[in-house]
Amino acid sequence: RREIRICIYSSIFPFIPSVIIGLTFLQLIMFLCVSFFLAYKSKWQAFKYATLSGLAEPLGVFFVAVLFPSNLNPEILEGLLASVGGVMAFLTLHELLPLAFDYAGQKQAVKAVFVGMAVMSASLYFLEISLPKEISL
């Protein structure tokens, strides 16, 4: 029974992160599309730039995997992911939070940041407890 359960988890597991990443990208693309539309006042320009932005990360992953296949060990990958997370946190606090203060007010903006952090923490926690011991984060 344990082997069957591991087989089921290993066949389903690759799709779980894909769905989570897809939902994250959907939110990001919607944000970018609205931002570009407000900046350029053109649906076509907004669609074009949001699509290019959405394709940049998967293309970057593809090029790194093709150009450096033997150099991608878990330590380097964890370091790269931590660096990207740090840059994203910096940009959120340095660029987006002051902008949100202007548009939504300080109280609403801080609430939104903490709710977003709580949702991301909860999703990581639930992902961790839903995985079998053999497939751990």
User: What count of Cα atoms within 13 Å lies in the side-chain half-sphere of residue 2?
Assistant: 3
- Give the model's pLDDT for residue 1: 47
The pLDDT tens digits of the residues spanning 115-129 come to: 888 888 887 787 777
The pLDDT tens digits of the residues spanning 28-64 come to: 777 777 777 888 888 888 888 878 877 887 788 788 7
pTM, to two decimals: 0.52
- Give the model's pLDDT for residue 50: 79
Percentage of residues of the chain with pLDDT beyond 70 = 75
For the stretch 27-53, what's the b/e string if a residue is b when 16 or more beta carbons lie within 10 angstroms of its beta carbon?
A: eeeeebbeebbeeeeeeeebeebbeee
- Give the model's pLDDT for residue 11: 56
Average pLDDT over the chain, rounded to whole? 76
Any idea which of 11-20, 23-32, 48-57, 95-104 has the lowest mean pLDDT? 11-20
- Identify whether the C-beta of residue 128 lies closer than 8 Å to the C-beta of residue 137: yes
Alpha-carbon gap, residue 51 to 76, rounded angstroms? 28
Phi, psi of 97 (to 5 degrees): -65, -45
| Residue of 3 and 63 predicted with greater confidence | 63
Any idea which of 8-17, 44-53, 90-99 has the lowest mean pLDDT? 8-17
